[in-house]
Amino acid sequence: MDSDAAFTYNGGKVAPGERQNLRYGISETYLGDPVRIPVTIVNGERPGPTVFLSAAAHGDELNGIEVVREVAFEWNLDDLAGTIVCLPVLNVQGFLTQQRYLPIYDRDLNRSFPGDADSTSAKRMAHAIFRNFIEPCDFGIDFHTSTRGRTNMLHVRADTSDDAVSRLAYAFGASVVVDGAGSDGTLRGEATRAGVPTVTVEMGQAHRFERELIDDALDGVRSVFAEYGLQSGTVRWPGWRTIVTEKTWIRADAGGMVDMHHERGSLVREGDRICTITDPFKADDTPVKAPFTGVLIGVLENPVVYPGNPICHLAELGAGTARIVDRRQADR
């Protein structure tokens, strides 16, 4: 909804033309000290939509933090038409301990939305975040990385059956959009169901700032801002795009050490050897081959596996898209 009104939350408001940096209390420690998340709200002088940018719902996923911080503090937002709500670290306790989940009972904050003020610690935190900074928005982007030991190419996860979500996903300009509604309790799934179209952007690996991916994601945010009129600019076209509905985790059938033959984002054709698993003596080689032609949206970083461990996440491509990807990789 386009509006020139103040952005309000429980305890404050940000009028048009104002910026506010705050640490918002969402819980308390064992000592009764506040657990506070950093929030930056920039309300433009001109009316426009309200968007949230969030990161680190999993405390060890760092790439998105830098994306959100750079938008808030390094971009020139003088011409902003609308409001941006920047939430760089949702899971403060996980971030402080560099853990994926909340240290309290090992809860997953990103399975706790929209929250409940009278429920578990995780759901109370999620409730405070959701009611104050997610529900008032018109749409949002939630940044994630793969879990430790694996890495993802930059891609968008979105429910493309929802026209408003589909528009947002395409505006970000990633080559790969993984279609799906999102699990119960996820920020993107629950926000979308509450009328705030939201996508997840997956990028890279945990415990890292990866500059190339951060810059690519910032280009995606610029493209979204242009699409919705928050700032002037051009909506980007990535050169090729596929909507992924068929994907699979390829798992190890043998224990050992993994020699990956392809990087994240690579095209592999049906029958190509993705990696080889060897024992300590390199006496037994177990090849792992692609069951279909696709793009590696996620691959193993930690090169040791037990039988059944995931090695890579392969998304199927049609013949036409595979030819485009092949040409572009050959031109690198």
Chain-centroid distance, C-alpha 74: 21
Strand partners, 28: 34
Tell me what pLDDT residue 169 has: 98
Task: Report the distance separating Cα 326 and Cα 266, nearest Å.
Answer: 9
Chain-centroid distance, C-alpha 16: 29
Global pTM reads 0.95
Q: CA of 315: how far to CAs of 179, 213, 310, 326, in Å?
A: 11, 20, 14, 15
Cβ neighbours of residue 115 closer than 8 Å, sequence gap 6 or more: 123, 124, 125, 126, 127, 128, 129, 130, 131
Strand partners, 107: 102
Tell me what pLDDT residue 332 has: 67
Query: Are the C-beta atoms of residues 133 and 147 closer than 8 Å to each other?
Result: no
Q: CA of 84: how far to CAs of 14, 23, 201, 329, in Å?
A: 11, 16, 17, 36
DSSP string, 138-166: SEEEEEE-PPTTEEEEEEEEE-TTSHHHH
Length of the chain (residues): 332
pLDDT, averaged in runs of 10, over the chain (332 residues): 77 97 96 96 97 98 98 97 98 96 89 97 97 98 95 97 98 96 95 98 97 98 98 95 88 95 94 94 90 94 94 88 74 69
Q: Catalogue all structural domains in the chain, each as residue range(s) with its CATH number.
A: 7-227 (3.40.630.10), 246-330 (2.40.50.100)
Nearest one of 131, 192, 142 to 164, comparing CA atoms: 192
Beta strands in 267-309 (DSSP E): 267-268, 273-278, 285-289, 294-300, 304-305
What letter would DSSP give residue 123?
H
Phi, psi dihedrals of residue 218, rounded to the nearest 5°:
-60, -40
Nearest one of 18, 234, 228 to 139, comparing CA atoms: 228
Tell me what pLDDT residue 162 has: 97
Cβ neighbours of residue 104 closer than 8 Å, sequence gap 6 or more: 93, 121, 122
Tell me what pLDDT residue 1 has: 41
Task: Report the distance separating Cα 317 and Cα 245, nearest Å.
Answer: 10
Tell me what pLDDT residue 104 has: 79
